[in-house]
């Protein structure tokens, strides 16, 4: 039986996303994802698939951090972009995120679990929400981009400011979807160690908080884990 992508979404996101989603595209995605989970090792684990949406409601969201696709090695991906479960050694991309956070705001973090960010209104989303073990990009162009585009459109419809942090080439392609003038888009390269000059030094965390304050919104406490 195919996974019903829509049914797995939290009700508040389901209602908002419905107007932006093509049922046929979502149905094909559900069939593909079902087969992948049945026949291969896929990350994140199915119960964590929509953790980002579960932890950050559309009404609460004031920041989007958009990445590429989940970590493809076991024990890392748990449904939040760039985040890993507490106690897990930091992957290279997250080490660079934390290096930039320290250089930008003087905040030092040791745990890679970013649930505390999500609970403050940071939607930690990837452009593609699943991946086959050991095969980065294996679930691209299967329909997830349609879902992440819809999430961006939901946030673009928000009457209050949302700050969009787009990290990496795939994420930066989504900038055109942010059309409301009260929102702010902050782009950077992917924080992967393979791209050392594309992300480090971009100061996204202070820029994000400055944009929130300028709109009368509370800044994110990036030290919260």
Residue pair 71/105 in contact (Cβ under 8 Å)? The answer is no
- 174: closest CA among 143, 183, 165? 165
Which residue among 4, 7, 12, 69 is the active-site one? 69
- Does the annotation count 7 as an active-site position? no
Task: Return the structure tokens found at 201.
Answer: 């030094």
Q: Is 25 exposed, middle or buried (0-12, 13-18, 19+ CB in 10 A)?
A: middle
Distance (Å, whole) CA 142 – CA 99: 33
**189 touches 167 (CB < 8 A):** yes
Distances (CA, A) of 179 to 9, 34, 64, 152, 175: 25, 34, 15, 10, 8
Active-site amino acid positions: 69
């Amino acid at each position: 039986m195919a996974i019903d992508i829509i049914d797995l979404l939290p009700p508040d996101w389901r209602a908002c996303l419905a107007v932006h989603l093509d049922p046929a595209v979502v149905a094909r995605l559900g069939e593909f994802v079902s087969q992948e989970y049945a026949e291969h090792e896929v990350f994140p684990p199915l119960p964590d698939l929509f953790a980002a949406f579960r932890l950050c409601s559309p009404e609460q969201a004031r920041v989007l951090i958009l990445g590429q696709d989940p970590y493809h090695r076991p024990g890392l991906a748990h449904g939040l972009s760039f985040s890993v479960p507490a106690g897990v050694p930091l992957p290279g991309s997250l080490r660079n995120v934390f290096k930039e956070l320290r250089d930008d705001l003087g905040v030092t973090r040791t745990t890679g679990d970013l649930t505390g960010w999500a609970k403050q209104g940071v939607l930690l989303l990837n452009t593609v929400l699943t991946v086959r073990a050991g095969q980065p990009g294996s679930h691209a162009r299967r329909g997830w981009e349609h879902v992440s585009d819809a999430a961006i459109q939901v946030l673009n419809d928000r009457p209050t400011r949302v700050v969009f942090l787009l990290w990496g080439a795939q994420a930066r392609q989504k900038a055109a979807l942010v059309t409301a003038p009260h929102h702010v888009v902050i782009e950077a390269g992917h924080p992967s160690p393979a791209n050392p000059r594309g992300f480090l030094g971009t100061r996204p965390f202070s820029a994000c908080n400055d944009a929130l304050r300028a709109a009368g919104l509370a800044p994110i406490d990036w030290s919260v884990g």
